Structure 1
Amino acid sequence: MLDTDWSSGWRGAFKIELRAEAIGLAWRGWPVLPGTYPDTAAPADDSAGWTIPVPEHEDWQDRLGAHPQQIAEWFTGDPHSLLVATGRVLDAVEVDDDLGRRAARLLRATGQPAPIVAMPNGRWLFLTTVAAQLPAELDERGTVRCHGEGSWIPLPPTPFQHGVVHWRVKPEVWGWQLPEADAVHAVLIEALAGPEPEEATTAPVTSAAARRLLTVHRSAA
């Protein structure tokens, strides 16, 4: 757990990894931003004033599309969280742990699951192409949030006070292609009424939405 191991060596290694990941994503055209970082000097049980990372710069929207060299400079010096702005290259649908597990099980049935991020606060992020809006079935649920224009998401290995953001499914699985938003939305809607994940982990899945997602991926490959 992060809140019990903030050694200087650990912080240094983490800072290097964050910088490397930020530069790599920038070279791929992802709109990378430096974010706020948890206070490593704070007591383990002190999370006051810091819950999730936000952009370090108030004018962050004017800095989108910065050259990887500029990204490298931003991530040199004080450590920063790794953020990516949404609404341009990608969007993300944020869901609770239960819905995330249901949807991930359906997506695994395609053999090419969408990129998925898990955060230490129990929330999941499903990365997609940019979407106009969420379907009503998702938009009306208080536990679902769409990250589109004007928003951002943290990406691995961004630290929280009590854990690290990590990939459930890495973008490499899709060859760095993003799944169509409406296909992922359809899977999430289907997952809303699905069985508990532990009830059907080995059962065959015949999800129409999941099959559609695989078809879209093969067509783009």
Structure 2
Amino acid sequence: MLDTDWSDSWRGAFRIELRAEAIGLACHGWPVLPGTFPTTPQSGGKTWTGPVPVHADWADRIGAHPNEVAEWWAKPYSLLVATGKVLDAVEVSDTLGKRAARLLRATGHPAPIVATPDGRWLFLTTVADRFPDRLATSGEVRWHGEGGWVPLPPTPYQHGVVHWRVKPDVWGWRLPAADAVHSVLVRALDQTDDREVRGQQLVAASAAA
């Protein structure tokens, strides 16, 4: 969709939507930051692999007033939120994300969830001071904490737009406790491993028959 549709009129309309979202999030205390677009050259001539902060001193701009945020988005920027201050994010594959989302619904834990066009899910939580080894060593999970950032809707990618799987207003803008979400993700990861083992056992049994 976005590979060819980068007309000035499209950019203008999309900039207005991004600006409105940024102001709204800032009003709820979220530390939003302007990020690059897919067509924005990255520093050092690097290939665009995702939005990064526009300002080199972005860490000093965390917690800006909504009025300042409104001024930033006078230009067409994507929407990022800094992690490690107000919120953290845990990034997983869409397969693991769907399983974890079902478990969260079953246990009644609220959690805003973001999905990116490249098949990644981001679970937003309160700030954590540690991360379970089970998740950190899995190779499937990434913790975005102090010094990091993640994209928020409706940030554009080269092949789509970042979107909410679960909007924060559905849960009254409450962020779930990090350890509660980590626990659910561990369970989801264990379920994935169990299914893979059972699948391998079935294949082995079929081959031996």
TM-score (norm 1): 0.81
Instruction: Give yes or no for the alignment of 1:137 onto 2:134.
Output: yes
- Deviation of residue 111 (structure 1)? 4.9
SS at match of 1:89: coil
- CA distance in 2 between partners of 1:194 and 1:108 (Å): 16
C-alpha change, 1:65 and 1:195, in structure 2 (3 Å) is: closer
- CA distance in 1 between partners of 2:155 and 2:112 (Å): 16
The one-letter amino acid of 2:165's match is R
For the Cα contact (< 8 Å) 2:87–2:127, is it kept in 1? yes
- Deviation of residue 146 (structure 1)? 0.5
Q: What residue in structure 2 maps to residue 189 of structure 1?
A: 186
Q: Map of 1:67-216 to 2, 5 A cutoff?
A: 67-77=65-75, 79-111=76-108, 113-194=110-191
- CA distance in 2 between partners of 1:26 and 1:75 (Å): 12
- Deviation of residue 173 (structure 1)? 1.4
Q: What residue in structure 2 maps to residue 58 of structure 1?
A: 56
Q: What residue in structure 1 maps to residue 19 of structure 2?
A: 19
The one-letter amino acid of 2:36's match is T
For the Cα contact (< 8 Å) 2:109–2:176, is it kept in 1? no
Percent of aligned positions that are identical: 73
SS at match of 1:121: coil
SS at match of 1:179: coil
- Deviation of residue 109 (structure 1)? 1.9
Q: What residue in structure 2 maps to residue 38 of structure 1?
A: 38
- CA distance in 2 between partners of 1:110 and 1:12 (Å): 42
CA deviations on 1:149-176 (whole Å, 9 max, x unpaired) are 0000100000001110000000011100
- Deviation of residue 8 (structure 1)? 2.7
- Deviation of residue 38 (structure 1)? 1.3
SS at match of 2:90: strand
TM-score (norm 2): 0.85
C-alpha change, 1:7 and 1:90, in structure 2 (3 Å) is: same
SS at match of 2:191: coil
- CA distance in 1 between partners of 2:114 and 2:83 (Å): 14
- CA distance in 2 between partners of 1:105 and 1:3 (Å): 33
For the Cα contact (< 8 Å) 1:104–1:113, is it kept in 2? no
Q: Rg bigger for which structure?
A: 2
SS at match of 1:193: helix
Q: Which moved more, 1:102-111 or 1:141-150?
A: 102-111
Query: How many equivalent residue pairs?
Result: 189
- Deviation of residue 125 (structure 1)? 0.2
More helix by share: 2
For the Cα contact (< 8 Å) 1:112–1:174, is it kept in 2? no
- CA distance in 1 between partners of 2:109 and 2:8 (Å): 39
CA deviations on 1:69-128 (whole Å, 9 max, x unpaired) are 111111103x11100000010000001121111101112224554110000111110000
- Deviation of residue 6 (structure 1)? 2.3
For the Cα contact (< 8 Å) 2:110–2:174, is it kept in 1? no
Which aligned runs of 4 or more in structure 1 are off by greater than 6 angstroms? Answer: none
